[in-house]
Chains A and B, each alone.
Chain A
Amino acid sequence: MLVKEFAAIYYSSVAYVVAAVFMLLMSYTFCAQLFHMRSASLAGTLIQAATLLLLTVPFLTMRQFSEERRSGTLELLLSSRADGLAIVMAKFLATFSMLTFLVVMVLAFPLTLSFISAPDWGPIVSGLVGLLLLGGALSAIGLAVSVFTSNQLVAAVLSLGIFLLLWMSEALGVFFGDPFDDIAVAISLDTRFTPFVTGAVYLSDFGFFLSLTLLGILLSVAGLARR
């Protein structure tokens, strides 16, 4: 199961196009920050990586279950001995491995920087950990969305909408009264991610991203079971 899902990701041209565009935009951000703004801090680059993850993960998760549903192969999987959790975990790990690959490529920027200066590795490492946690949560939510539709485009657009809403929920919180404004801040991906790039790692932020990942996986399993 795992081998099939890894093959589906890595034999797909979508993954490589996503990786290429991601690195192109990241390189542009890095160069702009370094040469135009004359800043050796990587905080902006890492936040840019996070926003690019919001935009790229839907393209990786949109076909995971949607395509299986559309082609009918989900019937083959679900009528076998494999249980829902194994099917979901295989797809999650395959997507997450691709995101890990993207995050490892981001490492090229601090390494480049280390040739010309002495970057502070603490915030860089915690920022990369934050990117992995964010990527895991986005993958799980994207998978859950793709369970509920057989249309890849609908899955991608819905995922993107949810990601952006979660990212911006802190800003939207001002429109709500107490206690919804606090909730909007607490569930904001932006609020939870930003401390990682400054080197401030809170257990609550760790727990938030892991809980979101678990929620996405459980929703996916429940979505498969309730068919």
Chain B
Amino acid sequence: MMSGSKNVARAQETAKPLSPPIIVAKNLTKRFGSRLAVDDVSFSLDAGEVMGLLGPNGSGKSTILRMLVGTLRANEGEISIAGHDIVTSGRFARTNIGYVPENTPLYDSMRVTEFLQFMAGLKGLRKQQVDEALERVCDQLELNDVRRQPIHTLSHGFRQRVAIAQALLSSPPLIILDEPTNGLDPRQIIECRNLILSLAGKHSILVTSHILTEIEKIADRAGILLHGRLLAVEDLRNNPDAGDLESRFLALTAPH
């Protein structure tokens, strides 16, 4: 087992980014009243990298993501997305993000095409770009058969695809997915995992899960969270000596 600071240091040593990190989060702290939801969390994500945030429910994963996309303000700390501060240059920072929130919130009364057109407009795509982007994401996520269907008639798997499709509309360099395999059946989980793997390299990806094996199969690095604290950042690709993620997770999160 390695301490959090050692892991962060090791990750910084082993990763030799060609371009500056797409996410730099420094000393993030978030309180809801007297409850400390996120406690002094720092990490970075390099271009093209897939990082997983792993932790039990209530460990602060979604809160961190909401601060990263700018829908929740941190009490302390700084966030930079592609060099833009999320507070002072929020609009520029958000242009670089495709975000898939937890539980796939969509406008159920809209048809798939209608929803994607609406989201493309919100992302600032011009009219001629919208059609091209729609064709691309519908092909990529195999949504062509359900394009005219109202969203409320879709299965959970298709809803998840639509949610990911809206995140990809503007081809952002960073994709953030909050518990993307929640509520999916085994086949849909495999499809979702393969989709995320297919996006890796072209996009930097930050994904949360409370399912250990999902993170292990998808991510290059895994941040382990408990009670709002980032206990360690494990390198899953370049550290064969460190043992499997399960034993490291159990050791780190064992009650004292």
A residues contacting B by CB (< 8 A) are: 1, 3-4, 8, 11, 71-83, 225-227
Contact = CB atoms under 8 A, between A and B. Distances in A.
Contacts of B99: 75-76, 79
A71 B115 CA distance: 15
Contacts, number: 57
A73 B106 contact: yes
Interface stretch (B51-59, B65-73, B229-237, B242-250): B65-73
B95 A76 contact: no
Given A77-B122, A225-B73, 8 more contacts: A72-B103, A73-B105, A73-B106, A75-B66, A79-B70, A79-B99, A80-B122, A82-B122
16 contacts: A1-B121, A1-B122, A8-B109, A11-B109, A72-B102, A75-B66, A75-B105, A76-B101, A76-B105, A76-B166, A78-B69, A78-B71, A79-B71, A80-B122, A81-B95, A227-B72
Nearest to A76: B105
A72 B70 contact: no
Interface string B95-127: 101010111011111000000001101111000
Interface residues of B, number: 26
B107 A73 contact: yes
Contacts of A71: 105, 108
B94 interface: yes
A185 B219 CA distance: 64
B101 A80 contact: no
Closest 9 CB pairs of A and B: A72-B105, A80-B122, A79-B69, A78-B71, A75-B101, A79-B99, A73-B105, A81-B124, A82-B122
Given A4-B118, A11-B109, A76-B101, A226 B73 contact: yes
Nearest to B68: A79
B101 A72 contact: yes
A175 to B, nearest CB: 34
B91 A81 contact: yes
Candidate in B71, B72, B99, B118 with the most chain A CB atoms within 10 angstroms: B71
A135 B113 CA distance: 34
Contacts of A76: 99, 101, 105, 119, 122, 166
A1 B124 CA distance: 11
A79 B71 CA distance: 6
Contacts of B102: 72
B249 to A, nearest CB: 28
Contact of B122 (A81, A226, A227): A81
B23 to A, nearest CB: 14
A77 B95 CA distance: 13
A15 to B, nearest CB: 14
Given A72-B103, A75-B66, A75-B105, A80 B73 contact: no
Nearest to B69: A79
A226 B94 CA distance: 17
Interface in B71-104: 71-73, 91, 94-95, 97, 99, 101-103
A85 to B, nearest CB: 12
Contacts of A74: 71
A71 B69 CA distance: 18
Contacts of A72: 101-103, 105
B33 to A, nearest CB: 14
A151 B121 CA distance: 28
B105 A80 contact: no
A81 B118 contact: no
Contacts of B73: 225-227
